[in-house]
Chains A and B, each alone.
Chain A
């Protein structure tokens, strides 16, 4: 039975683990009643589990406790919570092996065996075990960067959760404690199990690296496509700029008829060019949609600006289901805004990407110069665009995964789309 100082020390060692989880999930600790309760309850469960003799139950319970802390207190999605918890648990195991090894080297073997009877010393060692990964992450930026890279890589993997749980089970079926307690014959079994785990992980790595290569190839195509669109737009910009100046030069020396003709050409070719450089703030995969729509519309006076207030855009980009819905919604919003915005230098299209605790919020603002029927707006088939079917806005309104609101204020059109995280 432990005494009060020992319980306190155990709690401190658990708090160090929680702080490390915060560090890995790149979250600032928020001290409120719910978070305090979660930490206390999970500490109690962690404490009970750590004294369980069954290695499998102990490890799984501790892992689940970490996942709960990351999910509830750090407010991450379930997959990322699992990845972070798995990494932290692995770091703790490695830290424990290393520190136990160091202690065993420097201590007298007899005293090392008797260590089991000194719970206070054991608890101090457990504090060191918890502290080691945290100190390493804080002191070594390179180490922290490598761990971040591993977390991002595993978070994007589709098979990681299954592979890691399977390996976990196999490894725990044969922990070091079993090696100590059973006879030599089972060491062959140990070797087979460890070999099996190694083979599974190697296969997993090969599959993931291949999938990554394929994705990189697709990304490269996307990047090239975006660059080509930019080249088209910039070439057109330069071309218009030059034509404008050449026409102005002719205007200054031409006779009356020539001047009239030049002025007509200037109106017809719409020689002012808007600015869409702000699109770089939009997630990369969505940029292509915007470039494509600007070129299709031939509206070169458009000014497109973006405010991106989403702090952790990775969360959106790595969740493919959410990302697809978001891309679709933003694509439709841009389509409508580009069509509706007048083709003059006073036009504007402004996109705001924002988020709150449980939703992503996308707001599109644009001015317009067409007549609008308030009661038909958003209905299937109603459109102000020639040769279009009036489907886009209706899709946003009818889609149950989205919460869509439309407000018209004087000559400003605002569409607000909310998407649950």
Chain B
């Protein structure tokens, strides 16, 4: 089942959004439930705190006599990082960039410009997509690390510093764990390809067994590949 929660104080816009969602109901194999609110109230707060099912929140940013859409998004993310948030807004691009990253907002849609088409497109993408919110978490001495598994490219052992280095799509982290300990925190898509390296097989384009390197989708070359692990790697390829 998928749940849509509309938080919009303008009745006309609320009806408009509801109509768009209703058009989808009949195309989907799963059950769809829609809830409408003018602003944050006790019922919505309870729903956010229990977060027991897949939800798409469609929030207006400016709400009369209520906490703003941003504050509601902040509350949602205190309990739930799996649900999708779509903002209906009139704000500018800079506002969008920061809030998109901070609250993992799926989209910002302008209220008075192409709302129907954009929202329809977004709902289709959300409903069709495979949610992969599995995370790797690590508690350092003073900081916590949270990485979506789908963003991790590969992990290797730095012999000099005696640490594991995690390379993601955007950053690099070093943690005080062995590769064996790290592998226990990952899922099946991660395979050992060298005694000092684990790779995310979803990101691999080619295993070059001649030159002992792996080529990833973004062009990165990983120079850790051992024949010892060939059988295991090719088993699921």
Contacts and interface: CB of A to CB of B under 8 A. Distances in A.
A287 to B, nearest CB: 18
A365 B102 contact: yes
Contacts of B168: 410-411
B98 interface: yes
Contacts of B173: 371-374, 408
Contacts of A348: 94, 97-98, 101
Contact of B174 (A372, A397, A411): A372
Nearest to B148: A410
Interface string A319-331: 0000000000000
Contacts of A161: none
A148 interface: no
B132 to A, nearest CB: 13
A274 B172 CA distance: 26
Given A369-B170, A372-B172, A412-B101, A397 B142 contact: yes
Interface residues of A, number: 35
Given A305-B95, A348-B97, A369-B170, A375 B140 contact: yes
B98 A373 contact: no
Q: Which one of B94, B102, B143, B144 has the highest number of Cβ atoms from chain A below 10 Å of its Cβ? A: B143
Nearest to A405: B144
Interface in A346-384: 346, 348-350, 352, 354, 365, 367-375, 377-379
A378 B165 CA distance: 19
A77 interface: no
A307 interface: yes
Contacts of A397: 142
B174 A303 contact: no
B94 A303 contact: yes
B151 interface: yes
Given A275-B94, A348-B98, A379 B141 contact: yes
A409 interface: yes
A4 interface: no
Contacts of A410: 146-148, 151, 168-171
Contacts of A369: 170-171
B176 interface: yes
Given A305-B98, A346-B97, A377 B143 contact: yes
Interface string A383-421: 000000000010001000000011111111000000000
Contacts of A368: 171
Contact of A350 (B102, B138, B147, B171): B102
**Centre residue among A305, A309, A348, A409 by max chain B CB count within 10 A:** A409
B175 A375 contact: yes
A409 B146 contact: yes
A405 B140 CA distance: 11
A119 B169 CA distance: 81
Interface in B119-156: 138, 140-148, 151
Contact of B71 (A309, A346, A407): A309
Given A303-B94, A305-B94, A307-B70, A406 B144 contact: yes
Nearest to B175: A374
Interface string B10-45: 000000000000000000000000000000000000
A305 B174 CA distance: 30
A378 B97 contact: no
A373 B144 contact: no
B66 interface: no
Contacts of A408: 143-146, 171, 173
Interface in A174-225: none
A350 B142 CA distance: 21
B74 A352 contact: yes
B163 to A, nearest CB: 7
Contacts of B213: none
Contacts of A275: 94
B219 to A, nearest CB: 17
Contacts of A379: 141-142
A367 B174 contact: no
Nearest to B70: A307
Contact of B171 (A365, A375, A411): A411
A300 to B, nearest CB: 14
Nearest to A382: B142
B191 interface: no
Contacts of A372: 171-174
B142 A407 contact: no
Interface in B93-115: 94-95, 97-99, 101-102
27 contacts: A274-B94, A305-B95, A309-B74, A346-B97, A348-B97, A350-B98, A369-B171, A371-B174, A373-B173, A374-B143, A375-B175, A375-B176, A377-B140, A377-B141, A377-B142, A379-B141, A405-B144, A406-B144, A407-B144, A407-B146, A408-B143, A408-B145, A408-B171, A408-B173, A410-B151, A410-B168, A412-B102
Interface of A: 274-275, 303, 305, 307, 309, 346, 348-350, 352, 354, 365, 367-375, 377-379, 393, 397, 405-412
